[in-house]
Protein backbone atom coordinates (compact mmCIF):
# COMPACT_ATOMS: atom_id res chain seq x y z
CA UNK A 1 0.00 0.00 0.00
CA UNK A 2 1.30 3.47 -0.87
CA UNK A 3 2.48 5.46 2.13
CA UNK A 4 0.07 8.31 1.47
CA UNK A 5 -2.90 6.01 1.94
CA UNK A 6 -1.65 4.76 5.28
CA UNK A 7 -2.33 7.33 7.98
CA UNK A 8 -0.58 5.15 10.57
CA UNK A 9 2.78 6.06 9.04
CA UNK A 10 4.90 9.00 10.19
CA UNK A 11 7.63 9.36 7.56
CA UNK A 12 9.34 12.44 9.03
CA UNK A 13 9.14 11.38 12.67
CA UNK A 14 10.36 7.89 11.78
CA UNK A 15 13.33 9.27 9.81
CA UNK A 16 14.20 11.55 12.70
CA UNK A 17 14.19 8.65 15.18
CA UNK A 18 16.35 6.57 12.84
CA UNK A 19 18.84 9.41 12.51
CA UNK A 20 19.02 9.73 16.29
CA UNK A 21 19.73 6.02 16.68
CA UNK A 22 22.70 6.22 14.30
CA UNK A 23 24.64 8.38 16.79
CA UNK A 24 26.11 10.50 13.98
CA UNK A 25 29.04 12.71 15.04
CA UNK A 26 27.86 16.21 14.11
CA UNK A 27 30.10 18.88 12.65
CA UNK A 28 27.13 20.85 11.37
CA UNK A 29 24.70 23.14 13.19
CA UNK A 30 23.02 23.46 15.67
CA UNK A 31 25.98 24.34 17.82
CA UNK A 32 24.78 22.64 20.99
CA UNK A 33 25.82 19.32 19.38
CA UNK A 34 23.05 17.04 20.64
CA UNK A 35 22.79 18.97 23.88
CA UNK A 36 26.37 18.70 25.08
CA UNK A 37 26.88 22.41 24.55
CA UNK A 38 23.80 23.45 26.57
CA UNK A 39 24.01 21.19 29.58
CA UNK A 40 21.67 22.98 32.00
CA UNK A 41 18.87 23.05 29.44
CA UNK A 42 19.55 19.47 28.30
CA UNK A 43 19.48 18.18 31.86
CA UNK A 44 15.97 19.60 32.20
CA UNK A 45 14.38 18.66 28.85
CA UNK A 46 16.30 15.44 28.23
CA UNK A 47 18.88 14.31 25.72
CA UNK A 48 16.29 12.89 23.31
CA UNK A 49 14.81 16.32 22.66
CA UNK A 50 18.26 17.73 21.91
CA UNK A 51 19.22 14.83 19.66
CA UNK A 52 16.10 15.46 17.58
CA UNK A 53 16.95 19.14 17.19
CA UNK A 54 18.85 18.71 13.94
CA UNK A 55 19.62 20.69 10.82
CA UNK A 56 18.40 19.94 7.30
CA UNK A 57 20.26 16.99 5.80
CA UNK A 58 19.65 14.38 3.14
CA UNK A 59 18.07 11.80 5.47
CA UNK A 60 15.50 14.20 6.95
CA UNK A 61 14.77 16.44 3.92
CA UNK A 62 14.42 20.24 3.77
CA UNK A 63 11.37 22.40 4.49
CA UNK A 64 12.09 24.85 1.65
CA UNK A 65 12.17 22.27 -1.15
CA UNK A 66 10.95 18.93 0.23
CA UNK A 67 11.60 15.88 -1.93
CA UNK A 68 11.86 13.14 0.71
CA UNK A 69 10.29 12.43 4.08
CA UNK A 70 8.91 15.95 4.57
CA UNK A 71 7.22 15.66 1.17
CA UNK A 72 5.72 12.33 2.23
CA UNK A 73 4.54 13.75 5.55
CA UNK A 74 2.97 16.74 3.78
CA UNK A 75 1.10 14.49 1.37
CA UNK A 76 -0.26 12.44 4.26
CA UNK A 77 -1.39 15.67 5.90
CA UNK A 78 -3.07 16.89 2.71
CA UNK A 79 -4.95 13.61 2.45
CA UNK A 80 -6.00 13.69 6.12
CA UNK A 81 -7.23 17.29 5.98
CA UNK A 82 -8.96 16.92 2.60
CA UNK A 83 -6.75 19.22 0.52
CA UNK A 84 -4.59 18.84 -2.59
CA UNK A 85 -1.48 20.33 -0.97
CA UNK A 86 -0.26 20.83 2.59
CA UNK A 87 2.65 23.00 3.68
CA UNK A 88 4.28 22.62 7.09
CA UNK A 89 4.63 25.89 8.99
CA UNK A 90 7.20 26.51 11.72
CA UNK A 91 6.24 30.14 12.26
CA UNK A 92 2.68 29.42 13.32
CA UNK A 93 -0.52 30.05 11.43
CA UNK A 94 0.61 33.68 11.24
CA UNK A 95 2.92 32.79 8.34
CA UNK A 96 0.15 30.75 6.73
CA UNK A 97 -2.32 33.64 6.86
CA UNK A 98 0.28 35.98 5.39
CA UNK A 99 1.13 33.51 2.63
CA UNK A 100 -2.56 33.06 1.77
CA UNK A 101 -3.09 36.79 1.31
CA UNK A 102 0.15 37.22 -0.64
CA UNK A 103 -0.75 34.29 -2.90
CA UNK A 104 -4.24 35.59 -3.69
CA UNK A 105 -3.54 39.33 -3.92
CA UNK A 106 -1.09 41.62 -5.66
CA UNK A 107 -0.38 45.22 -4.61
CA UNK A 108 -3.53 47.29 -5.00
CA UNK A 109 -5.90 44.31 -5.07
CA UNK A 110 -8.96 44.40 -2.84
CA UNK A 111 -9.62 41.71 -0.23
CA UNK A 112 -12.81 41.43 1.82
CA UNK A 113 -12.27 40.50 5.46
CA UNK A 114 -14.03 40.82 8.82
CA UNK A 115 -12.59 43.42 11.15
CA UNK A 116 -12.25 40.81 13.94
CA UNK A 117 -9.49 39.09 11.95
CA UNK A 118 -6.23 38.27 13.73
CA UNK A 119 -3.30 40.67 13.55
CA UNK A 120 -1.58 38.27 11.12
CA UNK A 121 -4.17 39.23 8.50
CA UNK A 122 -3.25 42.89 8.89
CA UNK A 123 0.41 41.93 8.49
CA UNK A 124 -0.58 40.02 5.36
CA UNK A 125 -2.17 43.17 3.95
CA UNK A 126 1.05 45.09 4.58
CA UNK A 127 3.20 42.41 2.95
CA UNK A 128 0.91 41.99 -0.07
CA UNK A 129 0.05 45.65 -0.49
CA UNK A 130 -3.61 44.61 -0.63
CA UNK A 131 -6.47 46.97 0.16
CA UNK A 132 -8.83 45.84 2.94
CA UNK A 133 -12.57 46.00 2.41
CA UNK A 134 -13.91 45.40 5.90
CA UNK A 135 -17.11 43.51 6.49
CA UNK A 136 -18.85 43.96 9.84
CA UNK A 137 -19.22 40.72 11.79
CA UNK A 138 -22.48 40.19 13.62
CA UNK A 139 -22.39 41.25 17.27
CA UNK A 140 -24.01 39.46 20.21
CA UNK A 141 -24.62 42.47 22.45
CA UNK A 142 -25.57 40.34 25.47
CA UNK A 143 -22.32 38.38 25.38
CA UNK A 144 -20.35 41.34 24.09
CA UNK A 145 -18.50 39.40 21.39
CA UNK A 146 -18.25 39.34 17.62
CA UNK A 147 -19.68 36.34 15.80
CA UNK A 148 -19.43 35.35 12.14
CA UNK A 149 -20.46 37.33 9.07
CA UNK A 150 -23.87 36.99 7.46
CA UNK A 151 -24.46 35.84 3.90
CA UNK A 152 -26.43 39.02 3.28
CA UNK A 153 -23.53 41.25 4.29
CA UNK A 154 -21.21 39.28 1.98
CA UNK A 155 -23.62 39.68 -0.95
CA UNK A 156 -23.90 43.41 -0.26
CA UNK A 157 -20.18 44.04 -0.01
CA UNK A 158 -19.38 42.03 -3.15
CA UNK A 159 -22.05 44.07 -4.90
CA UNK A 160 -20.19 47.24 -3.91
CA UNK A 161 -16.75 45.78 -4.66
CA UNK A 162 -17.14 43.29 -7.53
CA UNK A 163 -13.44 43.70 -8.35
CA UNK A 164 -12.33 42.11 -5.04
CA UNK A 165 -9.78 39.35 -5.60
CA UNK A 166 -10.35 37.41 -2.37
CA UNK A 167 -12.49 37.07 0.71
CA UNK A 168 -10.98 36.12 4.06
CA UNK A 169 -13.11 34.27 6.61
CA UNK A 170 -12.69 32.88 10.14
CA UNK A 171 -13.77 29.31 10.91
CA UNK A 172 -14.52 29.22 13.81
CA UNK A 173 -14.18 32.48 15.71
CA UNK A 174 -12.23 32.40 18.97
CA UNK A 175 -15.48 31.79 20.87
CA UNK A 176 -16.70 29.05 18.50
CA UNK A 177 -19.14 30.68 16.06
CA UNK A 178 -19.02 29.84 12.35
CA UNK A 179 -20.45 31.63 9.33
CA UNK A 180 -22.35 29.89 6.53
CA UNK A 181 -19.07 29.32 4.74
CA UNK A 182 -20.52 26.90 2.18
CA UNK A 183 -22.96 29.50 0.88
CA UNK A 184 -20.34 32.25 1.01
CA UNK A 185 -17.98 30.07 -1.04
CA UNK A 186 -20.77 29.54 -3.58
CA UNK A 187 -21.31 33.30 -3.84
CA UNK A 188 -17.57 33.98 -4.13
CA UNK A 189 -17.20 31.35 -6.87
CA UNK A 190 -19.90 33.03 -8.95
CA UNK A 191 -17.97 36.27 -8.73
CA UNK A 192 -14.49 34.87 -9.36
CA UNK A 193 -13.30 35.59 -5.82
CA UNK A 194 -10.81 33.31 -4.03
CA UNK A 195 -11.83 32.11 -0.56
CA UNK A 196 -9.19 32.12 2.17
CA UNK A 197 -9.98 30.82 5.65
CA UNK A 198 -8.25 31.42 8.96
CA UNK A 199 -8.85 28.08 10.67
CA UNK A 200 -6.41 28.68 13.49
CA UNK A 201 -8.92 27.32 15.97
CA UNK A 202 -10.27 24.56 13.73
CA UNK A 203 -7.55 21.91 13.34
CA UNK A 204 -9.95 19.35 14.86
CA UNK A 205 -13.01 20.10 12.71
CA UNK A 206 -12.27 17.54 10.01
CA UNK A 207 -12.06 14.62 12.43
CA UNK A 208 -15.45 14.36 14.12
CA UNK A 209 -18.97 14.83 12.78
CA UNK A 210 -19.97 16.62 15.99
CA UNK A 211 -18.00 19.71 14.91
CA UNK A 212 -18.79 22.26 12.20
CA UNK A 213 -17.40 21.35 8.78
CA UNK A 214 -13.86 22.41 7.92
CA UNK A 215 -12.99 24.91 5.20
CA UNK A 216 -11.50 22.21 2.99
CA UNK A 217 -14.63 20.07 3.32
CA UNK A 218 -16.71 23.08 2.30
CA UNK A 219 -14.58 23.88 -0.76
CA UNK A 220 -12.39 26.84 0.23
CA UNK A 221 -9.30 27.59 -1.84
CA UNK A 222 -6.92 27.83 1.11
CA UNK A 223 -7.00 27.51 4.88
CA UNK A 224 -4.39 27.99 7.59
CA UNK A 225 -4.75 25.48 10.42
CA UNK A 226 -3.14 25.71 13.86
CA UNK A 227 -2.41 22.09 14.62
CA UNK A 228 -0.69 23.30 17.79
CA UNK A 229 -3.87 24.92 19.14
CA UNK A 230 -6.37 22.06 18.98
CA UNK A 231 -4.58 19.27 17.11
CA UNK A 232 -1.87 18.32 19.59
CA UNK A 233 1.37 19.43 17.88
CA UNK A 234 3.97 21.69 19.49
CA UNK A 235 3.46 25.45 19.84
CA UNK A 236 4.36 27.36 16.66
CA UNK A 237 3.64 24.39 14.36
CA UNK A 238 0.80 24.69 11.84
CA UNK A 239 -0.30 23.60 8.36
CA UNK A 240 -1.31 25.59 5.29
CA UNK A 241 -3.81 23.78 3.07
CA UNK A 242 -4.52 24.40 -0.62
CA UNK A 243 -7.05 23.11 -3.12
CA UNK A 244 -5.88 23.48 -6.71
CA UNK A 245 -7.74 25.89 -8.95
CA UNK A 246 -7.77 29.57 -8.11
CA UNK A 247 -4.27 29.73 -6.60
CA UNK A 248 -1.06 28.32 -8.04
CA UNK A 249 0.82 25.91 -5.71
CA UNK A 250 4.18 27.30 -6.82
CA UNK A 251 3.09 30.81 -5.82
CA UNK A 252 2.26 29.52 -2.35
CA UNK A 253 5.61 27.76 -1.99
CA UNK A 254 7.44 30.86 -3.23
CA UNK A 255 5.70 33.11 -0.72
CA UNK A 256 6.29 30.73 2.17
CA UNK A 257 9.98 30.52 1.32
CA UNK A 258 10.10 34.31 1.32
CA UNK A 259 8.93 34.40 4.95
CA UNK A 260 9.83 31.13 6.62
CA UNK A 261 13.18 30.16 8.03
CA UNK A 262 15.51 27.94 6.00
CA UNK A 263 16.26 26.15 9.28
CA UNK A 264 12.88 24.64 10.06
CA UNK A 265 12.65 23.05 13.51
CA UNK A 266 12.43 19.27 13.17
CA UNK A 267 10.87 19.04 16.61
CA UNK A 268 8.00 21.20 15.36
CA UNK A 269 7.64 19.43 12.03
CA UNK A 270 7.83 15.95 13.56
CA UNK A 271 5.12 16.92 16.04
CA UNK A 272 2.86 17.86 13.10
CA UNK A 273 3.55 14.46 11.55
CA UNK A 274 2.56 12.60 14.73
CA UNK A 275 -0.41 14.88 15.47
CA UNK A 276 -1.74 14.26 11.95
CA UNK A 277 -1.45 10.51 12.48
CA UNK A 278 -3.29 10.76 15.80
CA UNK A 279 -6.07 12.94 14.36
CA UNK A 280 -6.53 10.71 11.31
CA UNK A 281 -6.49 7.38 13.14
CA UNK A 282 -7.92 8.24 16.57
CA UNK A 283 -9.76 11.51 16.03
CA UNK A 284 -13.26 10.06 16.24
CA UNK A 285 -12.53 8.41 19.58
CA UNK A 286 -10.61 11.39 21.01
CA UNK A 287 -13.20 13.99 20.13
CA UNK A 288 -16.13 11.85 21.23
CA UNK A 289 -14.48 11.99 24.66
CA UNK A 290 -13.78 15.74 24.35
CA UNK A 291 -17.39 16.51 23.41
CA UNK A 292 -18.68 14.44 26.32
CA UNK A 293 -16.40 16.33 28.72
CA UNK A 294 -17.29 19.80 27.45
CA UNK A 295 -21.02 19.11 27.22
CA UNK A 296 -21.06 17.90 30.80
CA UNK A 297 -19.04 20.93 31.88
CA UNK A 298 -21.54 23.29 30.23
CA UNK A 299 -24.44 21.56 31.92
CA UNK A 300 -22.76 21.83 35.34
CA UNK A 301 -21.73 25.47 34.88
CA UNK A 302 -25.20 26.47 33.73
CA UNK A 303 -26.64 25.22 37.02
CA UNK A 304 -24.67 27.93 38.83
CA UNK A 305 -26.58 31.17 39.38
CA UNK A 306 -24.76 33.99 37.59
CA UNK A 307 -22.81 31.84 35.12
CA UNK A 308 -23.74 31.17 31.50
CA UNK A 309 -21.69 28.71 29.45
CA UNK A 310 -22.96 29.44 25.95
CA UNK A 311 -23.07 26.85 23.21
CA UNK A 312 -25.16 25.40 20.40
CA UNK A 313 -28.31 27.22 21.54
CA UNK A 314 -26.79 30.25 19.78
CA UNK A 315 -27.08 28.55 16.38
CA UNK A 316 -29.53 30.51 14.28
CA UNK A 317 -28.66 33.82 15.92
CA UNK A 318 -27.09 36.45 13.63
CA UNK A 319 -23.61 35.32 12.64
CA UNK A 320 -23.92 31.86 14.16
CA UNK A 321 -24.53 29.29 11.43
CA UNK A 322 -22.91 26.55 13.52
CA UNK A 323 -20.96 26.30 16.77
CA UNK A 324 -17.78 24.53 17.87
CA UNK A 325 -18.58 23.05 21.27
CA UNK A 326 -14.93 22.59 22.21
CA UNK A 327 -14.80 26.34 22.87
CA UNK A 328 -16.06 26.67 26.44
CA UNK A 329 -16.99 30.33 26.75
CA UNK A 330 -18.49 31.39 30.07
CA UNK A 331 -20.29 34.70 30.57
CA UNK A 332 -19.61 35.90 34.13
CA UNK A 333 -21.03 39.43 34.26
CA UNK A 334 -24.03 38.44 36.40
CA UNK A 335 -21.57 37.57 39.18
CA UNK A 336 -20.69 41.26 39.28
CA UNK A 337 -17.22 40.30 38.05
CA UNK A 338 -15.53 41.04 34.75
CA UNK A 339 -14.04 38.27 32.68
CA UNK A 340 -10.63 39.79 33.35
CA UNK A 341 -11.17 39.44 37.11
CA UNK A 342 -12.29 35.81 36.85
CA UNK A 343 -9.30 35.08 34.60
CA UNK A 344 -6.96 36.40 37.30
CA UNK A 345 -8.76 34.63 40.15
CA UNK A 346 -8.56 31.31 38.32
CA UNK A 347 -4.80 31.46 37.92
CA UNK A 348 -3.99 33.18 41.22
CA UNK A 349 -6.21 31.10 43.52
CA UNK A 350 -6.85 27.85 41.65
CA UNK A 351 -3.77 27.47 39.43
CA UNK A 352 -6.00 27.22 36.35
CA UNK A 353 -4.99 28.99 33.13
CA UNK A 354 -7.79 29.73 30.66
CA UNK A 355 -7.18 30.90 27.11
CA UNK A 356 -8.40 34.47 27.40
CA UNK A 357 -10.85 36.90 28.94
CA UNK A 358 -12.79 39.94 27.84
CA UNK A 359 -14.98 42.31 29.80
CA UNK A 360 -17.85 39.82 30.14
CA UNK A 361 -16.44 36.36 29.42
CA UNK A 362 -13.68 33.85 29.91
CA UNK A 363 -12.77 31.22 27.34
CA UNK A 364 -11.43 27.74 28.04
CA UNK A 365 -10.39 25.53 25.14
CA UNK A 366 -11.03 21.83 25.67
CA UNK A 367 -9.01 19.65 23.31
CA UNK A 368 -7.04 16.47 22.69
CA UNK A 369 -5.04 16.56 25.94
CA UNK A 370 -7.89 17.26 28.35
CA UNK A 371 -9.28 14.63 30.70
CA UNK A 372 -12.11 14.57 33.19
CA UNK A 373 -9.90 15.54 36.15
CA UNK A 374 -8.81 18.83 34.57
CA UNK A 375 -12.27 19.80 33.31
CA UNK A 376 -13.81 19.00 36.69
CA UNK A 377 -11.23 21.23 38.38
CA UNK A 378 -12.31 24.15 36.18
CA UNK A 379 -16.01 23.57 36.85
CA UNK A 380 -15.48 23.33 40.61
CA UNK A 381 -13.33 26.46 40.60
CA UNK A 382 -16.06 28.42 38.80
CA UNK A 383 -18.63 27.19 41.32
CA UNK A 384 -16.36 28.30 44.16
CA UNK A 385 -15.75 31.72 42.60
CA UNK A 386 -19.50 32.21 42.21
CA UNK A 387 -19.93 31.53 45.91
CA UNK A 388 -16.94 33.44 47.31
CA UNK A 389 -16.43 36.39 44.96
CA UNK A 390 -19.92 37.33 43.82
CA UNK A 391 -20.82 41.03 44.00
CA UNK A 392 -24.38 42.33 44.47
CA UNK A 393 -24.54 44.31 41.22
CA UNK A 394 -23.94 42.62 37.90
CA UNK A 395 -21.69 44.21 35.29
CA UNK A 396 -23.83 46.44 33.09
CA UNK A 397 -23.99 45.70 29.39
CA UNK A 398 -22.10 48.31 27.42
CA UNK A 399 -20.83 48.17 23.86
CA UNK A 400 -17.79 45.91 24.20
CA UNK A 401 -17.15 45.34 20.50
CA UNK A 402 -15.92 48.12 18.25
CA UNK A 403 -17.57 48.65 14.89
CA UNK A 404 -15.61 48.79 11.65
CA UNK A 405 -13.24 51.78 11.62
CA UNK A 406 -12.60 54.26 8.83
CA UNK A 407 -9.62 53.04 6.80
CA UNK A 408 -8.03 56.23 5.48
CA UNK A 409 -4.88 54.83 3.85
CA UNK A 410 -3.78 51.29 3.06
CA UNK A 411 -2.04 49.32 5.83
CA UNK A 412 1.10 49.13 3.68
CA UNK A 413 1.25 52.88 3.05
CA UNK A 414 0.61 53.59 6.73
CA UNK A 415 3.33 51.16 7.74
CA UNK A 416 5.95 52.95 5.63
CA UNK A 417 4.76 56.55 6.20
CA UNK A 418 6.44 59.12 8.41
CA UNK A 419 5.05 59.12 11.92
CA UNK A 420 4.91 61.14 15.08
CA UNK A 421 4.28 60.08 18.67
CA UNK A 422 1.24 61.33 20.59
CA UNK A 423 -0.27 60.45 23.94
CA UNK A 424 -3.10 57.94 23.59
CA UNK A 425 -5.53 60.43 25.20
CA UNK A 426 -4.71 62.96 22.46
CA UNK A 427 -4.94 60.54 19.53
CA UNK A 428 -8.62 60.97 18.64
CA UNK A 429 -8.96 61.79 14.94
CA UNK A 430 -5.36 60.80 14.12
CA UNK A 431 -4.52 58.07 11.62
CA UNK A 432 -2.80 55.21 13.37
CA UNK A 433 0.66 54.14 12.26
CA UNK A 434 0.64 50.91 14.27
CA UNK A 435 -1.69 48.24 15.57
CA UNK A 436 -3.02 48.18 19.12
CA UNK A 437 -4.52 44.96 20.47
CA UNK A 438 -5.10 42.85 23.52
CA UNK A 439 -3.22 39.56 23.33
CA UNK A 440 -4.76 37.06 23.37
CA UNK A 441 -6.80 37.12 21.15
CA UNK A 442 -4.62 39.37 18.96
CA UNK A 443 -7.51 41.10 17.17
CA UNK A 444 -6.50 44.73 16.53
CA UNK A 445 -8.53 47.51 18.12
CA UNK A 446 -6.94 49.80 15.56
CA UNK A 447 -4.66 48.95 12.64
CA UNK A 448 -2.22 51.00 10.56
CA UNK A 449 -4.09 53.42 8.30
CA UNK A 450 -7.27 53.61 10.41
CA UNK A 451 -8.65 56.70 12.11
CA UNK A 452 -8.48 56.51 15.89
CA UNK A 453 -11.83 57.19 17.58
CA UNK A 454 -12.89 58.05 21.10
CA UNK A 455 -14.46 54.58 21.42
CA UNK A 456 -11.11 53.00 20.58
CA UNK A 457 -9.30 55.13 23.15
CA UNK A 458 -11.91 54.36 25.82
CA UNK A 459 -11.63 50.64 25.00
CA UNK A 460 -7.85 50.73 25.30
CA UNK A 461 -8.11 52.54 28.66
CA UNK A 462 -10.56 49.91 29.89
CA UNK A 463 -8.18 47.10 28.91
CA UNK A 464 -5.32 48.84 30.67
CA UNK A 465 -7.38 49.31 33.82
CA UNK A 466 -7.99 45.56 33.79
CA UNK A 467 -4.22 45.00 33.40
CA UNK A 468 -4.72 43.26 30.07
CA UNK A 469 -1.59 42.66 28.00
CA UNK A 470 -1.54 45.30 25.24
CA UNK A 471 0.62 44.66 22.17
CA UNK A 472 1.46 46.33 18.88
CA UNK A 473 2.63 49.74 20.07
CA UNK A 474 6.25 50.79 20.21
CA UNK A 475 5.48 51.98 23.74
CA UNK A 476 5.18 48.72 25.72
CA UNK A 477 2.69 50.36 28.10
CA UNK A 478 0.52 51.84 25.32
CA UNK A 479 0.63 55.29 26.93
CA UNK A 480 1.65 56.66 23.53
CA UNK A 481 0.88 55.71 19.96
CA UNK A 482 2.61 56.41 16.67
CA UNK A 483 0.35 58.20 14.19
CA UNK A 484 0.84 59.42 10.64
CA UNK A 485 2.46 62.82 10.24
CA UNK A 486 5.81 64.54 10.17
CA UNK A 487 7.58 64.03 13.43
CA UNK A 488 10.23 61.80 14.86
CA UNK A 489 11.05 59.25 12.24
CA UNK A 490 9.72 56.77 9.74
CA UNK A 491 8.31 53.27 10.12
pLDDT digits (tens, 9 = 90+) for 252-293: 999 999 989 999 999 999 999 999 999 999 999 999 999 999
Question: Does residue 487 surpass a pLDDT of 80?
Answer: no
Architecture label for domain 284-388? Alpha-Beta Complex (3.90)
Q: How much is the pTM?
A: 0.92
Annotation: CATH topology of 411-484? Ornithine Decarboxylase; Chain A, domain 4 (3.90.100)
* Domain spanning 3-279, CATH class: alpha beta
Quote the pLDDT of residue 465.
Answer: 82
Give percent of the chain above pLDDT 90. 84
Quote the pLDDT of residue 399.
Answer: 58
Question: Does residue 393 surpass a pLDDT of 80?
Answer: yes
pLDDT tens, residue by residue, 394-417: 988 765 556 677 888 999 999 999
Question: Does residue 197 surpass a pLDDT of 90?
Answer: yes
Average pLDDT over residues 95-121: 94
Question: Does residue 420 surpass a pLDDT of 70?
Answer: yes
Residue ranges of domains in the chain = 3-279, 284-388, 411-484
Question: Considering only CA atoms, which of 25, 3, 30 is closest in space to residue 266?
Answer: 30
For 96-100, 458-462, 465-469, which range has the lowest pLDDT when averaged over its residues? 465-469
**At 1, is the pLDDT very low, low, confident or very high (cuts 50, 70, 90)?**
very low
Average pLDDT over residues 100-122: 94
**At 4, is the pLDDT very low, low, confident or very high (cuts 50, 70, 90)?**
low
Q: Which residue has the higher pLDDT, 186 or 437?
A: 186
pLDDT tens, residue by residue, 323-344: 999 999 999 999 999 999 999 9
Quote the pLDDT of residue 401.
Answer: 56
Question: Does residue 124 surpass a pLDDT of 90?
Answer: yes
Quote the pLDDT of residue 478.
Answer: 87
- SS3 for the chain, per residue? CCHHHCCCCCHHHHHHHHHHHCCCCCCCCCCCCCCCCCHHHHHHHCHHHHHCCCCCECCCECCCCCCCHHHHHHHHHHHHHCCCEEEEECCHHHHHHHHHHHHHCCCCCEEEEECCCCHHHHHHHHHHCCEEEEECCCEECCCCEECCCCHHHHHHHHHHCCCCCEEEEECCCCCCEECCHHHHHHHHHHCCCEEEEEECCCCCHHHCCCCCCCHHHHCCCEEEECHHHHCCCCCCCEEEEECCCCCCHHHHHHHHHHHCCCCCCHHHHHHHHHHHHHHHHHHHHHHHHHHHHHHHHHHHHCCCCCCEEECHHHECECCCCEECCCEEEEECHHHCCCHHHHHHHHHHHHCCCCCEECCCEEEEECCCCCCHHHHHHHHHHHHHHHHHCCCCCCCCCCCCCCCCCCECCCHHHHHHCEEEEEEHHHCCCCEECCCEEECCCCEEEECCCEECCHHHHHHHHHHHHCCCCEECCCCCCCCEEEEECCCCCEC
Mean of pLDDT over the chain: 93
Q: Which residue has the higher pLDDT, 146 or 32?
A: 32
Give percent of the chain above pLDDT 70. 96
Quote the pLDDT of residue 440.
Answer: 67
Quote the pLDDT of residue 216.
Answer: 98
Amino acid sequence: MSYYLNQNQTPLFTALKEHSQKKVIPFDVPGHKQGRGLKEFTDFVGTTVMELDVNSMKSVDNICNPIGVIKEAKELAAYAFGSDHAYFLVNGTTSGVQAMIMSACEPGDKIILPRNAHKSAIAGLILAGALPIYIQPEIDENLGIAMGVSVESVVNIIGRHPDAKAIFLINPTYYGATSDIKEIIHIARRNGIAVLVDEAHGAHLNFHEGFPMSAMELGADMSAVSTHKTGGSLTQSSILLLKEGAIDPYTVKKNLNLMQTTSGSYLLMASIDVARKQLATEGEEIFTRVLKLVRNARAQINKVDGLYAFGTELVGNPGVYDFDESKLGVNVRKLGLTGFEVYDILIDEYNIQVELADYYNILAIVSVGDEEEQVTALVEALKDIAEKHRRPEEIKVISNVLKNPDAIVSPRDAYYSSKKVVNIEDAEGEISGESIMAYPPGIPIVSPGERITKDMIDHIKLLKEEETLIQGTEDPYAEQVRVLGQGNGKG
